[in-house]
Amino acid sequence: MAEVTLKNIWKIYPGANGAEHPVVRDVSLEIQPREFVVFVGPSGCGKSTTLRMIAGLEEISRGSIQIGGRLVNDVPPKDRDIAMVFQNYALYPHMSVRDNLGFALKLRGCGKDEIRRRVDAAAGILGIADYLDRKPKALSGGQRQRVALGRAIVRQPSVFLFDEPLSNLDAKMRVQMRSEIVQLHQRLQATMIYVTHDQVEAMTMGQRIVVMSHGVIQQVAPPMEIYDRPANMFVAGFIGTPPMNFLRGRLENEAGAPVFREGGGCVRLALRSAGTDAELPAGEVVLGVRPEHCVPVDRAAGLPGGFTARITAVETVGAETFLTLDTGAAKVVSRTERRADRDMVGRDADFVIDPARVFLFRADDGRRIC
Ligand SMILES: Nc1ncnc2c1ncn2[C@@H]1O[C@H](COP(=O)(O)OP(=O)(O)OP(=O)(O)O)[C@@H](O)[C@H]1O
Ligand SMILES: [Mg+2]
C-alpha cells in the first residue's frame, strides 16, 4: 500500500554519433498509496520504459524513484515490494496452475502451508480454484491471464505494475477482465500502476490517467477531467472515439463577441458562452469539437454554429451513427443517435456545433485556451 514517487526521471539511450536519444523525459509524478493510476499514450511514447524503471528492470538515466518513501534507484526488482503482470503472461508450461502460482513464494523459501494458504486465497479471489491441477495449455486465454494475475497476488506486494495485461484477450474477455482488475483493486487496497495504449481501458479503470506522448507527460487528471478539460490538442485528440474534430481558423471580434471563422466560411461560430473572453487572443486558433457536439438538425440557417455539409461516409454502430462530413474546407465527424443509412452518402445536410461545448487551442503549441 505504498506511494510511488517519480522525480525528474529520464531514460536516455545512446543515439547515432554520440547523440542522446531520450525516450522518457523529465517525468515527475506522485502516486498515492492505494491509488489506481493508468499510463496511456500511443505506441513508443515511453509507457513501458517508465513502468520498467519503477519495477527496476530498466536502469534510470537521471532522476529518482521512491516506493513507500524509500529511494529504490539501486534496489534490485525482487526487493522493491512490487509485482508485475505482462501482456505475455509466460506461465511455466510444465507446471500445474497451483505450482505456477506458488513458484515465486517457493523461491523465496516460504513454507509449504503458507504457500498453500496464499495460493488457495488467490485462486478463490480470481475464480480459478477449479483449475489448480491443470497445466496452462488446458486453459483459455482469460483463465491464463487470471493465473498470471494470481502469481502477482500471492506475493502480496504493496505495488502492482501492469503492462498491457489484457492485450492478448478477445474484446469480450477484455471487458470482463477490466472490471475484475478494478474489483481486485478495491479488494486488495493496493497501489496499482497500469499501462495501456487503449484509451477505453484508461477511462474505465484509472482513478487518475497519465497521458504521455514522446516520453513527456501531457496531463495527469481523473478520467472525466481529461475528457472535459484536456490540457492540449494531443490529449483532446487522443481521448475520445471518434476523436475530437479540429478546425483551423481565425478568432475575430465581431460587435464585442468573439467569432470563429474558418476557410470558406462554412462554419461560423459565436463563442459567447466560452467564458474568459478577455483572454482570447485574436488571430490564428484551432477549434476543437467532439463528434457528439456536432449533430444533425433540420435547419441550420440562423443557428449560431449551424452549417451545411456534404455527407461522405455513414458508419452505423447500433445505438448511434458516425457521419463523416465535408464542409468544403474541413473534414468533420458527427456522432448522432439518429438513424442513418448509406443512401445518405453524397447528400447535403444541416448540422450544428454546440457553441457551449467547443474548445479553443493555440495554433502554435496546441495548448488549450478555453
Ligand atoms: N534499447 C533501446 N535503444 C534505443 N531505443 C529504445 C530501446 N528500447 C526501447 N527504445 C525506444 O524507446 C521508446 C519507448 O518505448 P516503450 O517500450 O516504453 O514504448 P511504449 O509506450 O510502451 O509503446 P507500446 O505501446 O508500443 O508498448 C520507443 O521509441 C523505443 O523504440
Ligand atoms: Mg509498451
Q: Which domains does the chain have, with CATH numbers?
A: 4-238 (3.40.50.300), 245-362 (2.40.50.140)
Give the model's confidence band at 256: pLDDT under 50 very low, under 70 low, under 90 confident, else very high: low
At 181 the pLDDT is: 92
* Confidence band, pLDDT 50/70/90 cuts, at residue 263: low
**Rounded CA separation 222/339 (Å):** 33
| Ligand 1 pocket test, candidate residues 38, 40, 49, most atoms within 8 A of CB | 49
Residue 276 has pLDDT above 90, yes or no: no
Q: Which atom of ligand 1 is nearest to the CA of 195?
A: 22
Looking at the predicted structure, is the pLDDT value of residue 258 above 80? Answer: no
Cβ density class 284-293: b for 16+ within 10 Å, e for less = ebbbbbbbbb
Residue 268 has pLDDT above 60, yes or no: no
- Three-state DSSP class for residue 45: coil
Between the CA of 252 and the centroid of ligand 1 the distance, in Å, is 43
Cα–Cα distance between 52 and 58 in angstroms, integer? 5
Determine what percent of the chain is predicted with pLDDT higher than 70: 94
Residue with cell 489506481: 36
Take residue 248 and report the three cell numbers written for it. 483551423
pTM equals 0.91
What are the pocket residues of ligand 1 if the criterion is a CB atom closer than 6 Å to any ligand atom? 13, 21, 23, 41, 43-49, 197
Nearest-CA residue for atom 6 of ligand 1: 13
Q: Whose CA is nearest to atom 26 of ligand 1?
A: 43
C-alpha to C-alpha distance for 285 and 226, rounded to whole angstroms: 21
Cβ contact 57:50 at 8 Å: no
Stretch 189-200: mean pLDDT, rounded? 95
**Atom 16 (ligand 1) nearest CA:** 46
Q: Which of 167 and 94 is assigned the larger pLDDT?
A: 94
Q: What is the mean pLDDT of residues 50-60?
A: 96
Instruction: Give the rounded percent of residues in the chain with a pLDDT score beyond 90.
Output: 68
- In 3D, which of 273, 289, 275, 278 has the Cα closest to residue 253? 278
Q: What is the mean pLDDT of residues 78-83?
A: 93
Which of 38-52, 229-243, 262-276, 309-323 has the weakest average pLDDT?
262-276
Q: What is the pLDDT of residue 283?
A: 81
Query: Residue type at 89?
Result: Y
pLDDT band of residue 357 (cuts 50, 70, 90) is: confident
**Nearest ligand 1 atom to alpha carbon 41:** 21
Higher pLDDT, 71 or 254: 71
What residue has cell string 465535408? 326
For a mutational test of ligand 1's pocket, the pick from 12, 47, 197, i.e. the residue with the most ligand atoms closer than 8 A to its C-beta, is: 47
Res 53: pLDDT:
97
User: Ligand 2 centroid vs 365 CA: distance in angstroms?
Assistant: 27
Cα angle 65, 178, 35; round to 5: 35
Atom of ligand 1 nearest to the CA of 49: 18
Residue 206 has pLDDT above 90, yes or no: yes
For the CA atoms of 116, 117, 121, 126, the dihedral, rounded to the nearest 10 degrees, stands at -10
Instruction: Give distance in angstroms: CA of 87 to centre of ligand 2.
Output: 9
Banded pLDDT at 153 (limits 50, 70, 90): very high
pLDDT digits over 110-147, tens only? 999 999 999 999 998 888 999 999 999 999 888 898 99
Protein residue whose Cα sits closest to atom 25 of ligand 1: 43
Give me the mean pLDDT over the 226-236 stretch: 96
Stretch 82-101: mean pLDDT: 92
Q: Whose CA is nearest to atom 3 of ligand 1?
A: 13
Task: Tell me what pLDDT residue 266 has.
Answer: 43
What is the average pLDDT value for the chain, to the nearest integer?
A: 90
Say whether pLDDT at 31 is over 80: yes
More confident residue, 68 or 267: 68
The pLDDT value given to residue 355 = 80
Q: pLDDT at residue 275 above 60? A: no
Lowest mean per-residue pLDDT among 121-125, 239-243, 270-274, 338-342:
270-274
Q: Which atom of ligand 1 is nearest to the CA of 164?
A: 27
How far, in Å, is the centroid of ligand 1 from the Cα of 10? 13
Alpha-carbon gap, residue 32 to 13, rounded angstroms: 30
> Is the pLDDT at 295 greater than 80, yes or no?
yes
Q: Which three cell numbers stand for residue 49?
A: 520504459
At 271 the pLDDT is 54
